[in-house]
């Protein structure tokens, strides 16, 4: 059920019986010469809406801009500062809780959002507002990703390329695959990402001229469909698991006994 397509009485019927919502989040940032800036939020939205339909739960509109300053040198990249992102997502989540939602799955497709979504989830849980957790699509199917691609790459690589070939093929520039590969980094072991135990780079352009990593020529729409179906299935299973848990088992546990101040 997509929230924005429904009337308020229809949503009232939902929250009278259900208490979970999925919130898709991504970014609007460079994904090389072959993929649109919309890559991450397109993947998040399609997975969230597919899983919400299968699990018969509520899906909110997508948050399209995330924490992406590490791609700022490339044309068109948009971002918000981390504190603003965290506060916005937390405010939106508290809005959902006002309407009766106490379990939220952040359907995420951008690595730069992960740590901030986990922090928002902790804030909401510690305050007893809601149980919210971050879900990253490729982290749910790591073995399949490894099986499909010899040189995957964490950004703009064949896994994201294949996903967009499947869900929005008209936005993919296949004639640029070789450029993306040749001006990027195919094998991550070829670049020195750690020096004496320290990560020395801050921005994508420090490592890759084309802005992306991996071998994009290994991507196909058929592989993208495999990834999409497998990830959507994992998301449905997660939704079912969260729905089945008693709320008090999900929220923050009380301090161990003796309770602070109990002897005063």
- pLDDT, tens only, 3-58: 999 999 999 999 999 999 999 999 999 999 999 999 999 999 999 999 999 999 99
Give the Cα separation of 124 and 141 in Å (integer).
Answer: 27
CB 206: neighbour CB atoms within 10 A?
A: 12
What is the tens place of the pLDDT at every residue in 79-122? 999 999 999 999 999 999 999 999 999 999 999 999 999 999 99
pTM, 2 dp: 0.95
Share above pLDDT 70 across residues of the chain, in percent, rounded to a whole number: 100
Instruction: Please give the pLDDT value at position 187.
Output: 87
Give the Cα separation of 191 and 154 in Å (integer).
Answer: 14
Residue 261 pLDDT class (50, 70, 90 cuts): confident
**Strand intervals (E) in the chain:** 20-25, 58-59, 103-108, 131-136, 194-195, 198-199
Instruction: Please give the pLDDT value at position 190.
Output: 79
**DSSP state at residue 173:** -
Domains present along the chain, CATH in parentheses:
3-250 (3.40.50.10310)
Residues 79 and 97: beta-carbon distance below 8 Å:
no
Give the Cα separation of 48 and 232 in Å (integer).
Answer: 8
**DSSP state at residue 193:** -
Element containing residue 2 per DSSP (H, E): none
Instruction: Please give the pLDDT value at position 200.
Output: 87
Give the Cα separation of 156 and 204 in Å (integer).
Answer: 11
73 alpha-carbon distance from chain centroid: 22
Provide mean pLDDT across the span 188-200: 85
């Amino acid at each position: 059920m997509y929230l924005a397509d429904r009337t308020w009485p229809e949503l009232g019927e939902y929250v009278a019986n259900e208490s979970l919502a999925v919130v898709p989040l991504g970014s609007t940032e460079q994904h090389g010469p072959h993929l649109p800036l919309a890559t991450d939020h397109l993947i998040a939205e399609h997975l969230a809406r597919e899983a919400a339909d299968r699990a018969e739960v509520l899906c909110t509109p997508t948050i399209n801009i995330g924490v992406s300053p590490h791609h700022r040198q490339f044309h068109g990249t948009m971002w918000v500062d981390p504190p603003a992102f965290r506060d916005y997502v937390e405010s939106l989540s508290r809005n959902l809780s006002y309407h009766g939602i106490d379990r939220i799955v952040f359907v995420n497709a951008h690595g730069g959002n992960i740590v901030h979504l986990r922090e928002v989830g902790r804030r909401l849980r510690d305050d007893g507002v809601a149980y919210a957790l971050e879900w990253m699509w490729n982290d749910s199917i790591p073995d399949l990703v490894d099986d499909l691609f010899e040189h995957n790459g964490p950004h703009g690589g064949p896994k994201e390329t294949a996903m967009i070939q499947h869900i929005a093929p008209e936005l993919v520039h296949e004639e640029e695959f070789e450029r993306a590969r040749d001006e990027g980094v195919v094998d991550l072991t070829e670049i020195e990402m750690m020096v004496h135990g320290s990560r020395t780079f801050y921005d994508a352009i420090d490592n890759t001229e084309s802005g992306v990593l991996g071998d994009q020529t290994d991507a196909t729409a058929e592989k993208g469909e495999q990834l999409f179906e497998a990830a959507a299935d994992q998301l449905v299973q997660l939704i079912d698991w969260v729905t089945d848990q008693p709320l008090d088992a999900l929220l923050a546990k009380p301090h161990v006994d003796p309770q602070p101040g109990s002897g005063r």
